[in-house]
Structure formats: C-alpha cells, structure tokens
Amino acid sequence: MTEHVVIVGGGTGGTVLANDLADRLEPELDAGDVRVTLVNDDPDHVYKPVWLYVPFGQREPDDGRRALDDLVDDAIDLRIDRVSDIDTEARRLRFRGNSPPVSYDHLVLATGSTLEPDRIPGLAEAGHDYYSESGATDLRDELLAFTDGDLVLSVIGTPHMCPAAPLEFVFMADDWLRERGLREDVDITYTYPIQRVHGNPHIAEWARPLMEERDIRTETFFNAEAIDPETETITSMEGTELEYDLLVTIPPHAGVDLIEEAGLGDDGWVDVDRHTLEAEAAENVYALGDTADTGVPNAGSVAHYQAGVVGQRLASKIRGRPATATYDGKTLCFIETGMDAASFVEFDYEKPPSPAPPSEKLHWSKLAYNESYWLTARGLL
C-alpha cells in the first residue's frame, strides 16, 4: 500500500520539505511505496523578504517570484488548489469547487501568515506596508514623492513575519533619506506594542542605542487602535496620538481559518510540540514555519530548519524506525542597519541572540543569501 504524504503550503517550509523528501525518500518514491503531494493555491512561490527592498528601488517584486513547478522536484505531485477543509479523524482534505477529496497518511501544514488590516479601523485606507507585493510597490511611489514631514512606522500586533523587518525599514529609511539630503526635513517615529523596540529583549537592547544615534524617535507600549486618514493621526489603546504625513505599518497577522476550524489551534496557528513539530490535537499531522506555534520568530530560516526535522521524522516513520530528529529552535537572521551595512544573529531555544556589529560585509552577505535562496528552495543548499 502506498503511503501518502500531503504538504499544504508552497512557501519556504513546504517547498524545502517537498524537495527534502524527494531526496530522502527517493528509493520509496521510485518503487511507488510512497507518494508526496504539495498543495498550493498559487502556481508561484514567493520569497517575501525581497519586498523590503522594493520601496527603496533596490528590487522588483518579480525578483522574489518563481514558478513552483520549476522549484519542486519532478518526483513530487504538485497540485494548484485551495484546501477548504481538514478532517483529521478521517485523514482527508477537501478542496474548493467540485474537486474530489484527498486522503493522507501524513499531513504537513505550512500555510503561513495572512494580513488582516481590517482589524484596525482606517488602516486599510491610510497605511502602507511592505509585507505584500502591492503594498511594497505602492510604498515605493509614496517614498519617491515624500520630501518632508512625519514618517511613522507602526508595528501593529505580534507575531508577524520577519520580526527584524520593522527595524530594518527605519534604519534603511534613515540612510536613504540622508543620501538624498532630506533627513533634516523628515522626522522618523517607530512604534512597538510592548515596552521595548523589539519582541526579543536582547535584540531590543542592541537596537535602541542605534535608533537614538540615528535620531529615530520611539514610542513603545503603543497598541494602535484606530487611524484617521482625514486628520492623518494614529491613536493607541493607551491614549497616545501621533500625527503622520506618511504612515508605514506592519498589519495584524493571522493564519488561515481552516486550521482553527479543524480544531488544531487558535488564529490559524497549529499547537505543536516545539521539538517534534507534531500537532497536539491530531496524530500524523505536523506544522512548520509560521503555522507552527513554537514561540520562535516567523522567519524563513526557521521554516528551513524545521523542514529538515520534519523530513527526517517522516522518513523514519515511513521506514518503520523511531523518529529521533528534533528542532532546537535554531534561527538565523541578517538585519539591515542601513543601505550598505547589516548585522547578523543566530540563536535557539537555549542560546539568546547576540547581534554582530554592523558591517558592509554582512550587508553583502545578506544580499548573497537572498540571491542563493532559490538554490535553498530547490534543496541544493
């Protein structure tokens, strides 16, 4: 009997895992003992970190897009469709329209994050973001026309994708405006919902002095409640009101509804064992990347490392062996500190981050990593 592994989500985690299994289970796939299906609702794979560079004219959105069928090994069944229901008791997936249901033996959920700007009144009308392709291109136009006034970057809700990206944006904006002789005419304010400038206290402690040196004003414990596009003000639940001429926001994030509907977790995040990545509420179900509620950052490197763990555990189970691979919380991240300098952090569940001193070398290392990402997605790195 052929064992069927279904991966839902063709982002970093899902794509890396599919290619990992194609390599790891090559004998079983060739013999027809195992079948692996990758389901995604878009024919393209999108590398979202590229969007940070679009507003500054450093990249185009197409630089972060590739066809999934060019990235995924031919041994994988690629299905472009949208899952509408997960039945973990029957081990069955249903799809939109009249597509027949699909049964699975092992299910991996890598459905990622979605943006929900409508949670905050006025946000959809007034706020700009670089967490979506259209948001990044619109913000590019706004920045090019922006010569003076108040630039406000507001982080609205956590967790969110790319936890360092809000810091990166204000550092890059500061540098970008200085290069154009406009910085003296622009005030930059950064808001964060807790009483520090980043969720991780070690990164916050490192970033705060850099922000002070760059004259980037900070408003912590600022939970945005409403935005008035007419008066150009953003108000927090704590009663603070800020005026803006250009508002850049990190919109609220959520997972996909079908996760909660399947009883696997709240707000679209799957409750998992943070070491095995197995779902708490169902057998033979895994989650990785943003979808897995592990407490680690929603970063591409996390999904990459977790995919390797899930791949090893699946291979062990399929071969009737004990699954021993575990995820240790490993995360790495480059943090841009301007247009030509960056820092780097690497940490896990036990070891806290210690950001490296910013340098041009690390900036070019990040750009090189972005370029080599496509090899990573193909399972070649």
Domain finish residue from 230, 253, 276: 253
* The pLDDT of residue 249 is above 70: yes
Query: Region 364-370: what's the mean pLDDT?
Result: 93
Same domain assignment for residues 124 and 245? yes
Domain finish residue from 253, 277, 307: 253
- Residue 237's contacts (CB-CB under 8 Å, 6 or more residues apart) are 223, 224, 225
* The pLDDT of residue 295 is above 80: yes
Q: What is the predicted pLDDT for the residue at 158?
A: 83
Indicate the number of domains in the chain. 2
Query: Region 5-31: what's the mean pLDDT?
Result: 97
Query: Region 259-280: what's the mean pLDDT?
Result: 94
**pLDDT bracket for residue 35 (50, 70, 90):** very high
Q: Report the amino acid identity of residue 268.
A: G
d(CA 138, CA 125) in angstroms, rounded, equals 12
> Residue 57, class by beta-carbon neighbours within 10 Å (0-12 exposed, 13-18 middle, 19+ buried)?
exposed
Our measurement of the distance from residue 330's CA atom to the centroid of its chain's CA atoms, rounded to an integer in Å, reads 15
Same domain assignment for residues 14 and 78? yes
d(CA 150, CA 293) in angstroms, rounded, equals 36
* Average model confidence (pLDDT) across the chain: 95
Q: What is the predicted pLDDT for the residue at 190?
A: 98
- Residue 126's contacts (CB-CB under 8 Å, 6 or more residues apart) are 227, 228, 229, 232, 234, 247
Same domain assignment for residues 235 and 263? no
> Residue 272, class by beta-carbon neighbours within 10 Å (0-12 exposed, 13-18 middle, 19+ buried)?
buried
* The pLDDT of residue 288 is above 90: yes
Same domain assignment for residues 23 and 151? no
> Is residue 74 included in any domain, yes or no?
yes
Q: What is the predicted pLDDT for the residue at 99?
A: 86
- Give me the torsion for CA of 196, 186, 56, 223, rounded to 10°: 30
Same domain assignment for residues 301 and 174? no
> Is residue 378 included in any domain, yes or no?
no
* The pLDDT of residue 153 is above 90: yes
How far apart are the two ends of the chain, measured CA to CA in Å? 33
**pLDDT bracket for residue 381 (50, 70, 90):** low
Find the domain containing 322 and state its range: 3-113+255-330
**pLDDT bracket for residue 377 (50, 70, 90):** confident
Domain finish residue from 200, 230, 253: 253
* The pLDDT of residue 379 is above 80: no
d(CA 232, CA 243) in angstroms, rounded, equals 6
* pLDDT tens per residue across span 80-119: 999 999 999 999 999 998 889 999 999 999 999 999 999 9
d(CA 164, CA 71) in angstroms, rounded, equals 27
Beta strands in 70-222 (DSSP E): 77-80, 83-87, 92-95, 102-103, 106-109, 114-115, 149-155, 186-192, 216-220
Same domain assignment for residues 39 and 67? yes
Same domain assignment for residues 7 and 132? no
- This prediction has a pTM of 0.94
Q: What is the predicted pLDDT for the residue at 2?
A: 92
The encoded tokens of residue 106 equal 């092992």
* pLDDT tens per residue across span 128-152: 999 999 999 999 999 999 999 999 9
CB atoms under 10 Å from CB of 337, counted, come to 24
CATH, residue 204: 3.50.50.60
Same domain assignment for residues 140 and 228? yes
Q: What is the predicted pLDDT for the residue at 127?
A: 84
* The pLDDT of residue 242 is above 70: yes
* The pLDDT of residue 380 is above 70: no
**pLDDT bracket for residue 267 (50, 70, 90):** confident
Same domain assignment for residues 168 and 236? yes
Q: What is the predicted pLDDT for the residue at 247?
A: 97
Q: What is the predicted pLDDT for the residue at 53?
A: 97
> Is residue 380 included in any domain, yes or no?
no
* pLDDT tens per residue across span 36-74: 999 999 999 999 999 999 999 999 999 999 999 999 999
